[in-house]
Structure 1
Amino acid sequence: MKRLAVEQLGSIPSGLYTPIEHALNESAIRAGTPGARRTELASLLTLRQHSATYVMRFRQQVAQGFDDFRALRIRHRGDLPMGLVAENQLEFHLSGQRLAEAIDQRYSRPLEMMEGRLEALANALDVPHISNPIGASRLAGAFIETFRDAELSESLRPMMFRQYEQELARVLGDLYGRVNTLLATAGYGMVETSSRPKQAPATPAPAAPEDRTAASDAQILAEFNQLRDMLHVWREGLVQGEPLTAENAPQRTLPPRRELRVDEVVSVASLLQSEPPDVFARALAGSGLLGDAIRDHLSDGARRLGINPDQTRLSVAEEDAIDLVAMLFESLFRTHSLLDRARRLYARLVLPYVKVALTDHSLFASREHPARRLLDAITEACEGNSAATPQDRELLERAAAVAQRIVADYNEDLAIFELAHTELDALLTQQRRRVELQEERAAKAAFGRERLSDARARADEIVNHRLRAQPLTQAVGDFLSTPWRHHLVQTLLREGQDAERHAEALMLGDALVVVDEFASDNRGRAVADRLVTLQSAIVQCLASSGLDDSASEHGLAGLVHSLAWPDVTRRVHQLMPVNTPHEDEAGEERRLWLAGGTATIAHDPALAERMRRLLPGEWVRITDAQGEAIAAKVAWVSPLTSRMLLVNRRGIRVLVASAEELAALAAQGRVSVEAERTPFDEAMRQVRHRLGRVAGRC
């Protein structure tokens, strides 16, 4: 720890001067007085000239903190000099206190974890526990002691403190993580710090959310015990007095032998943990049962440690741990869209999770278990991730690095899982924001298509009503069915049904029908007057279809020419279907197996009602046309059609469907609304269902 701290922190004082010098020069240039910062620059030059001295003094201060912790240099009270503090030194110390508070606030979680581990280390060394050698107060004190005799002006001092804090921010996160990992790997777990004040017993209060969570965990623990009962029935090979089929048979039966102790199995797993996980990757690929692969690998490792597998066997609890971890990982690959590139990553984690399951049964009972949260984070990073974008590639690489870190550093201290989760979750937080933006874009696109479809349907109804009402010339019929229809759609989308502009568009269509009737009666003067009055509106209507002034004038001329002949052929017209970009998207929608958004398909009304109660943020499990299971979230419910937009964990649209369509898919076994929110919970639900089906308890 001392070596790491001195290496990473030791050069910080030498890096303070250049950024401050640049800031001073820029400030002087902005102020228009280049010589205004001459005093501060001169002081900075003096500090730079003595840089080597300050670096050495700072390194000594950092190293001294570790010597003090080990009680190699304990100062007696009589050794401490006493005296008054000068006013400028008092301000220096106050700045140091503010710095310590900022560091303590920014790194509160890793510092709290380190404090507990350092107390355990102090107890092991049988020395009194003093402050953290690289804690906030120590780092602030090291800076103050390093520059205690430096001449710092009132304007330069805060700049030095700010730059020191920025330089610390570059290294402290990594340093604290490595020190915590080093302590955890060495076996120093967190203990309750004796110096922390004990809280008085609280008076009884109504059940808080934490109480409800505890009750929920108790329920999960009861379910876990039931799960073990089903697992025992499954393993013993009997279900309600009948032998199991070959498909559901247990993975093996063992003759009576000496039961291995948990520490022996953990030692074997630790020996094998860093070896290539090829055997587990092949099992997850479907070439064999993962539970068999784990047992065979442990048997081989036991032989290498001098434990004869022919004379020993796993205990029931150890069998449970292996089977549950194997089923957990198999279920994750069955129920989540994990691509081939993720298989080796998960294979690396098999033995560490076997070790966790052997030593800590709360892995399957507590939703806040650090190993459980880490597996959820890794699955969130990997599910459906094809590395198509730089952000997705970074997520995969970080998840792989986290898995490798677990393999390298896990030594029965769960803190490594918590640290790894914190590291990965920081990147996932950015990813979740990108996913939210992707969901918003998908919802806006879906809503835009629905509004367009609704506007076209309304416009078609209006146009058809005019076309069928009476015989019209070809020119008027064409005008109403094409440019006027498009103009109606535009006004509906932009202005709304009750807008004045939409009313004017309706009046134009009705007026043209009247003009056509005047023309058929040979009322030339009335036709001419009306066309003059409508000229501006007709040109605007044609322009809304994308025609320029020349084309609009040409279209108007064609309309006038047609209406100038009273005996021209007239007939009742029919609006022809128009191929639009929206309708061309039907192929894409069908690829997403969208049935059309209507309630006319065969469905179970009760199921449809259940689907209708789904709210944004709820998760379902969907099986696509290729048989692949997908976790999908209800991202948006249309205010127009009540159709639901479902997206995957990357925020990409996977389905847009009505409640009736979802009910039809559920009847086919392709939609399940009982999905859990987190991957671990969903995988365990599938494990319970699998064992319950075998044991006849579903």
Structure 2
Amino acid sequence: MTDTLQRNVVNINQFDRSRRTLTAAEALELLHACRDQAIEAICHAWQGKNTQVEDSLLANADQSPTLETRNLYYAAQGIVHNRGDALTLALRKHFIESFDSRTRATGSSGKETKPGMLSMELALVDEEDFEQSLALSKAAARLRFDSVEELAALDQRVSALLQDPQAKDERNPLGAKAICVAFLAACEQLEVSSQIKLVLLQQFGQRIASDLPKIYQRLNQFLVSKDILPSIRVGLAEHKNRPRHTSAKTDAAETESTDQQDIFALLLQQLIGKGAASGSGGISLPPGTATTASPASVANLINSLTQLQHGVVGSVPVSTVSGFDTGLLQSGSVNILRDIRTAGLVNMNSQVDAFTIDIVAMLFDYIFDDRTIPDKLKALIGRLQIPVLKVAMLDKQFFSKKSHPARRLLDEIAAASIGWHETGEYNTRLFDKLDSIVQSILADFSEDVEIFATLLDDLLDFLVAHQSQTESAIEQSAQNMEAAERAEIAKVVVADEIRRVSEGVQLPEAIREFLDGPWQQVLSHAFTDQGEQSQVWQTNLKTMQDLVWSVTPKRNTEDRLSLVVMLPDLLKHLREGMNSIQIDPKEREIVFSRLVTCHASAVKAGLQLQQELHAGELHVSAVAVVSEDANIAAAGAANTPAPVAGERFDLDAADDMIDDEYTDLARSLKKGDWLEFYNDDGSIRVARLSWVSSMRGIYLFTNNEGMDALTIALSRLAARLRAKEAHVVQAAPLTERAVEKLIHKLQNNAA
């Protein structure tokens, strides 16, 4: 009940502030400044990396197995080399044209601009280009992921400037999709073939991915300096350690800091120190075990691990080895790495090998303890223990490099697992996809870690495609919520307008009932459907003002002549308004016939009419408007709204807005964040933030299929966080959290 009451509260102070917004010209000036800053920075970033693009294309050509693909890469490299400046100029041109078309379309009317009206949508009118459309969606989705915090804040600010709550995500004229569409249009202008366009788009997305968050960050800072939603702090500061959703094959130099700390060396130092401090020698090693690993010993160890990965120890099946539960190797449900070492299933020829096994084992301890991953999917990750151990043996940068393909694959599997359950078509497909990835690694991974990069890209493609599918379900829920919110706000706005027009005016009771009934519905429909800036809304307000004036006493000839002149237009607009809410024509004519009586009375002598009104002689039955017809009855069913200042519902004390760290935490949530909600019966509901209302701060949470919607207001969400009835699931990648916890534990033990 509390949630229902909270959703019906309208913050009048916020509504009043919305009426003191920038003028259209001022907003457009700020938008143009953002447009120019954005495209200049994007073009500069793209041109600065042309050499890298050429090198990458030539390398891809050299590695291509067929002549056709090799020629494709050579042709793309030739365009960048010979026509790079022309491509950049065309990109600038099409981005500006798309931006201007979008902002003009939104600003020209109070109505929401439909997706089909956007120039960025019209740029892809060719039905044949399904492949191109899919590549566009993938490129835009990955760029959005890389800039998720910065773009979320920019979405809100652009929506405010355009006065269009839909101007976000794909419909933001500064967004990732707008940029990618402009790039494809630039390629089209240069008459580049379809296949080459896709190659260039992929390169474009990879090269600007690291620059785009900073570009959006600067745009947010610029708009905050102009006092555009300054309270939104997300997206203003650089997140240096946030992993980016770039291709698995992106060059490490672009994704890792050059002064990256050697995490393995740190872990090794802490582990050796722990063993020395305990006086036990740390890990029990066979006599004569070396402290460093030779290449030959590493090769032998990798070979024995590969055999174990395939279920063989030497030439003997694992099932025949005593002292080891072979079922655990296939189940993936427990940590087996220490048991493998204890059972002597692998040959350790150096102390480094032993320590590496111990470090990876501790890493998986934390993975198995992570309660956000369902047990069934955790078992899939557990089956990768031996392959991950092999990766760590082959490349100690696995611990230091957050962009390492093996780490990123584990992180993406873990992230996709949040909110998973055993029912639903998508959850079945997700499990099958993850299971196939695990099976591919177990069957095919020997020493080449490139398999992790390939499978990572395959998983990302799967997740991006699913995200595109769920957006429609989320969009429908969001639209329903926005419609409900606009209806609530319309109720307050309309009541305020009627009060201001009729306040202090002695109106016939029938006219007052007409304003509070049918005409209130006309105004609410215009506000909700067309918007406060629309001509329809303004016309209906003016009609109400004219109606009120028309039924007041006409004390002189000038007023009576004015009434005669205005009546045709007044009746016309009243008819149009009632038609908009589909009032029955017969009832509409009754309204007009009763209105004739009111006008006749208004034309009589002023003083005499005033006396009659005060004496109550003009009874409601003489000009009754309300009928038994369903349309009129429904329109007049609501009680007369209270004045604006009284539009308030009683709430629980826990729902009052408290400015503390929990409210700040709720405000800082961004699209894609997961929360756990604890129910009274002890069950836990895991839900993802899918949308936040820009009107009233209502949060929409869904499951991983975009369904099972949960809506909650900001103050109520903060109250649940405060009461420990909700918990934000950690957003940091799984392996990053595990490594940090491992370092922390070893440092504490050493201390």
Provide TM-score, normalisation by structure 1.
Answer: 0.49
Provide TM-score, normalisation by structure 2.
Answer: 0.46
Structure with higher Rg: it is 1
Compare relative contact order (CA 8 Å, sep 6+) and give the higher one, 1 or 2.
2
